Structure 1
Amino acid sequence: MVLWRHSRRLASFKRLYSYHYRKENVWQSRLFMATIASLVAGSVSWYYFWPHHTFSAPVAKTLRKGLRAESDKGDFDYNSALESYRIGLRQAKEENIPEWSNEYTGIQLKIAQMMEYLHDYGSALLMYKQINSAYLAFLKSDQAEDNTYPELSKPYILLKNLRVSVKIARVLELSNQTENALKVLKHAMLLCSNYAIAKSAKEQGQDLKGVKLVIENNRVLVNGNKEIKVERNRENWSPFTFEFFNASDYYVSLCTASGKLDEAIKERQRILLLMVLAQVPGGDILLSQYNLGSLLYMKAEQLESLELKYRNDLPRQQEELQRTMTTKNDYLSAATECFETVRELATSLDEKQKKGSTNAIRTSGINENNSIKSKVLWYQVDQTTDDSIALSTYALGVIKLHRGMYKEAEDLLKETLRRASRTNYTELIQETKRELGKLDRERKHGPKLLSVSK
């Protein structure tokens, strides 16, 4: 599997799309990818290492030695820098600097960074886990409920825990421990989402302390059965909004890369609801909707491979064949609906944006009975969404092409060219031109890929 990457700027989020490539399937080598790739992997710079923190003179002197050693002035001597930071950490501990403080964890982060530079990933992982443990211990303490110092309040510690969890997941991924990486990410993300939802519920007079929250089929459930209403409020997701949704993209990309398409789809559905609750820009919701459609389409392709296997074993596998065909068509229909609901905004979007009116988008998916599940989610459009609409138009065009509906496919692909040209979306323009060339060649031969069985 090869991940083809290119970046686009949408609102305040810098997204990195990941496209899935397989030699036997041209679809997955193009823009129909499974998930947004791990932007977090490269963009979470270990962030503001003690940017404005104050240390005692001895600690500060030691840390400056480390900073000099790892810079060009010290010839990038990471071993010397590592030793200085270790000494600085011991000094900080002797001065009783709290282990969850920015100062203490900042030194630990530098130590882990040096270890990564020296390819000592095992030691780096242990250091990150120490930081993570300190944060989790703090979150369980009474100090987490004390808002005297905002930078030490619960949401800020949740933010830092999430950042460290992403680092842990990255090291685990490098060590081929994807399952553990997913568990670490999931736990950190649940802490953030449960905090935001519980805060919203508390504002509405509901106390969710000690209850288990489950997000399923665009609903928030308490203890797995009682649905609760959660109001949209971006403040409840601050300050971890950006990191939370980037971590979710990373989670989905790991699921997809490891063949866990069902979990990737469920996570993308959950994240769509949370994006609405967090009031993220409308364009990012549309982009997530597009990516959900791509995941659903990939699942349909997966089922088609199984369908071909059963066809080669008829009549013994007749029952399995029929069940697989039905499920495949459900996923394909849900994917198509995802793309169509993004594209539906095209005709009136500009006018509605001028008026500041509210738009609706349906999120589609598959429930436990393999039937299409759709629900209307509302959000305020506050930015241009041309890229998401262009991608979805392209997706519908490719589906029509592979169904042999050449006139419809041609119209959609030409519309994609117009939309992509407006935003100078070079990669999409190139892909669309390739599809148009394929369309001309295949008019006489019919579709070669996925189609809805009659």
Structure 2
Amino acid sequence: MLKRVSFGKSVRLFRSSARSLQDSLHYFSDPNGKPVPHPSTYTKGRDYGHDQPPVPPVPTPTSKPFFTPFRIFALLTGLSASYMLFQDFYRFELDPEVFDLVRKGLEAESDKGHFNYKLALKFYLEALHQGTDFNTHTSILLKVCDMLEKLGLINEARLYHLDLISTTLYNVVNPTNKKELMDKPKAIKHCLMSLVKATELSQDASPSELEDLKTLFNLSLEAAAMTIQSQGGALQENMNQLIASQGQNPTELESVEMISRIWRNRKAASMFVDNMLDAMEVFSSLLLRMGDFGGAIKVKQDVVQYLMAMGEPIGDIYLAQSSIGSLLYLQSAIAEFNSENIKKKLGQGDDFQLTSEESSKLKEELQVCEAAAKSSLNAAQTIFSAIVNNNSSRFRSSNNMLVISKDGPQAAEEKILEKQRQSDYNLKQAATISKYGLGLVNLRFGRAQTARRLINEALTSSRGLEADLGFVEDAEEALRAIEQLQESEE
């Protein structure tokens, strides 16, 4: 209480002293000793006795708020960029040790760390053994594979990719948390990415290893389809049935046939649509390496159906269809080659003794080969003709409406235009390939004039494309064969 009184008195004394000082400053003395009012009272900024221009008042500084619209925008932009760069590792915040190891690995493999892939691999392996959730585990495992490949350890990278695939498939069959796998199909996406890489790194694989890869493709594509559409316990039951069927007959393409279930949920399928298509394209190439033309064509047909179900542009669909036509033509050529070899064996006569049983068996094989060659050639002609003669402009409006952007109408329109440009380019490629293929089909049927016209048109179209379609030399050779054929007929 005493302190409050003392403080109050001090304040009152200070105020009275200040008023006295202010009053005393209102008067000055001129050279004659007369009191003069303070200049600020009457002179408006002039010094008494001097004729000077008025001094403008100094503006009182005002404090600006820290969070201006520009600063808020810059902050949000920075946060968004950080999330996009580290979205694969966004859950590491739950484990600071793992996050720190991954951060060190990213720095080591960047230009900041002078591309030290060996050091980055060390950090990623340490993070991998810390024990994380499933999606985080596959994210780190992909980085490990990437570093191994950059270090030239190709076989080790392939083994790690196979480990990622098997781990993911095991998690699908025996999920510890089904809801997490359904809500976050990133693990399936990583599985498909590893399948593509493992196949690329298996150029010198043995036939048994190729069969294993084929089985993994079947299982992974089926897992992707079931992750999209499965409900409750149907996932494990369907997957167990598929594994049983693969164990009995690994050449069955059951998983690809089940891809049609994706049609029922386009939004879910869009989560890894590109990875799905890449995996199916690589799967088709793998089947071709194994000599399974029927399986490769079946996968290509499923790709076309998948594109149609997803509402993809007509150019993408026609480009996929043109590849089917090419495979059918190649299959017919191989069947015709086999039939010619069988005819040679049957026509050797005394030089090559055949039993009646062997002869009848060869004749049956000849009939099968000739039928396969004819049916494949007719199917290729149908596909090529449909692409060359069909007017695709009526498909554009309906397919463009499928492009939706969360960034607003302008961004959506830009995406529509970009998608349409790519579709038009793919359509030109498909038409060029189909003209060349249709020319070869007509050449096989003996229609030299039509074949020559179509092949010349294909060569002209190919010069306006950036992509190398790879048939220019073959087309020129085919034209020379046509000229020789016409000269012999004359």
Interval containing the TM-score (normalised by the shorter chain): 0.5 to 0.7
> More deviation in 384-393 or 107-116?
107-116
Worse-superposed segment, 112-121 or 51-60: 51-60
Q: Which moved more, 1:316-325 or 1:242-251?
A: 316-325
Mapped pair 1:415 → 2:460: no
Q: The residue matched to 1:312 in structure 2 has which SS?
A: helix
Q: 1:157 aligns with which of 179, 187, 209?
A: 187
Match of 1:334 among 379, 389, 394: 379
Offset of 1:259 from its aligned partner? Answer: 1.9
- Which of residues 428, 437, 440 is equivalent to 1:395? 437
- The 5 A counterparts of 1:293-304 are 293-304=325-336
Indicate the SS of the match to 1:141: coil
Paired letter, 2:388? R
Letter in 1 for 2:483: D
Whether the 8 Å CA contact 1:234–1:279 is kept in 2: the answer is no
User: Counterpart of 1:165 in structure 2: which amino acid?
Assistant: L
Q: Which residue of 2 aligns with 1:145?
A: 179
Partner SS for 2:345 = coil
Gaps of 5+ in 1: 1-46, 223-227, 359-380, 447-454
Q: Which residue of 1 aligns with 2:138?
A: 105
- Match of residue 448 from structure 2: 406
Q: Say which is worse superposed, 229-238 or 240-249, in terms of deviation.
A: 229-238
Q: Distance between the aligned counterparts of 1:120 and 1:335, measured in 2?
A: 42
**Greater fraction of residues in strand:** 1
- Contact 1:170–1:181 (Cα < 8 Å) also in 2: no
Pairwise CA distance, 1:134: 4.2
Superposed, which structure 2 residues align to 1:439-450 within 5 Å?
Answer: 439-445=482-488
Greater relative contact order (Cα < 8 A, sep 6+): 1
Aligned residue for 1:361? none
User: Matches of residues 277-316 of structure 1 in structure 2 within 5 Å?
Assistant: 277-314=309-346, 316=359
Deviations 1:339-370 (Å, cap 9, x if unpaired)? 1222231xx323x2466599xxxxxxxxxxxx
Which moves more between the two structures, 229-238 or 266-275?
229-238
CA RMSD of aligned residues (A): 3.9
CA contact (8 A) 2:442 2:450 kept: yes
How has the CA–CA distance of structure 1 residues 349 and 136 changed in structure 2, closer, same or farther, with 3 Å as cutoff? closer
TM-score, scaled relative to structure 1: 0.65
| TM-aligned CA distance change 1:169 to 1:422, over 3 Å | closer
Aligned residue among 283, 288, 299 for 1:251: 283
Distance of aligned partners of 1:326 and 1:122 in 2 relative to their CA distance in 1, 3 Å threshold: closer
Q: Give the C-alpha shift of residue 392 in structure 1.
A: 0.6
Match of 2:212 among 144, 156, 180: 180
AA in 2 matched with 1:289: Q
2-side partners of 1:267 and 1:248: how far apart? 7
Match of 2:367 among 316, 322, 326: 322
State the alpha-carbon separation in 2 of the partners of residues 88 and 157 from structure 1: 18
Q: From the superposition, tell whether residues 271 and 444 of structure 1 become closer, same or farther in structure 2 (CA, over 3 Å).
A: same
Post-superposition offset of 1:329? 0.9
Instruction: Please give the alpha-carbon distance, in whole angstroms, between the structure 2 residues aligned to 1:354 and 1:50.
Output: 35
Does the 8 A contact of 1:197 with 1:230 survive in 2? yes
Normalising by structure 2, report the TM-score.
Answer: 0.61
Output one character per residue of 1:153-211: Cα deviation in whole Å (capped at 9) or x when no partner: 25333222222333333444454432222222221112223444658xx9xxxx89845
1:209-251 deviations in whole A, cap 9, x for unaligned? Answer: 845699999x9689xxxxx998565324221111111111101
Change (3 A) 1:318 1:160: closer
Q: Which residue of 2 aligns with 1:85?
A: 124
Q: Write the mapping of 1:20-419 to structure 2, written as runs, cut at 5 A.
A: 50=88, 52=90, 54-55=92-93, 56-90=95-129, 92-93=130-131, 97-98=132-133, 100-102=134-136, 104-139=137-172, 140-141=174-175, 143-145=177-179, 153-176=183-206, 177-196=209-228, 210=237, 234-314=266-346, 316=359, 317-345=362-390, 348-350=391-393, 352-353=394-395, 356=398, 383-384=423-424, 385-417=427-459, 419=461
CA offsets per residue over residues 365-394 of structure 1, 9 Å max, x none? xxxxxxxxxxxxxxxx96422221221111
How far does residue 336 in structure 1 lie from its aligned partner after superposition? 1.6
Going from structure 1 to structure 2, the CA distance change for 1:216 and 1:337 (only over 3 Å counts) comes to farther
Deviates more, 1:386-395 or 1:104-113: 104-113
Residues 322, 434 of structure 2: 8 Å contact kept:
yes
Query: Residue 59 and residue 270 in structure 1: after superposition, are their counterparts in 2 closer, same or farther (change >3 A)?
Result: closer
1:438 CA displacement: 4.5
1:269-315 CA-to-partner distances (Å, cap 9, x unmatched) read 33332332233332222122111111112221221222112211236
Q: Any idea what SS the aligned residue of 2:274 has?
A: helix
Bigger mean CA deviation after superposition, 404-413 or 81-90: 81-90
User: Against the structure 1 CA distance between its residues 57 and 321, is the aligned structure 2 distance closer, same or farther, given a 3 Å change threshold?
Assistant: closer
8 Å contact 2:228–2:268 — kept in the other structure?
yes
The answer to whether the 8 A contact 1:406-1:443 is kept is yes
Change (3 A) 1:288 1:249: same
- Taking a change above 3 Å as real, the CA distance of residues 279 and 330 of structure 1, as seen in their structure-2 partners, is same
Distance (whole Å) between structure 1 residues aligned to residue 292 and residue 482 of structure 2: 32
Within 2, Cα distance between the matches of 1:260 and 1:194? 26
Mapped contact 1:144–1:154 kept (Cα < 8 A)? no
Equivalent pairs counted in the alignment come to 353
| 1:169/1:336 CA distance change after superposition, 3 Å | same
Letter of the 1:107 counterpart: I
Distance in 1 (CA, whole Å) between partners of 2:298 and 2:439 is 26
**Residues 442/277 of structure 1: CA separation in 2 closer, same or farther (3 Å cut):** same
Structure 2 residues without counterparts, runs of 5 or longer: 1-84, 246-251, 348-358, 401-418
Residue 444 of structure 1 aligns with an amino acid whose one-letter code is E
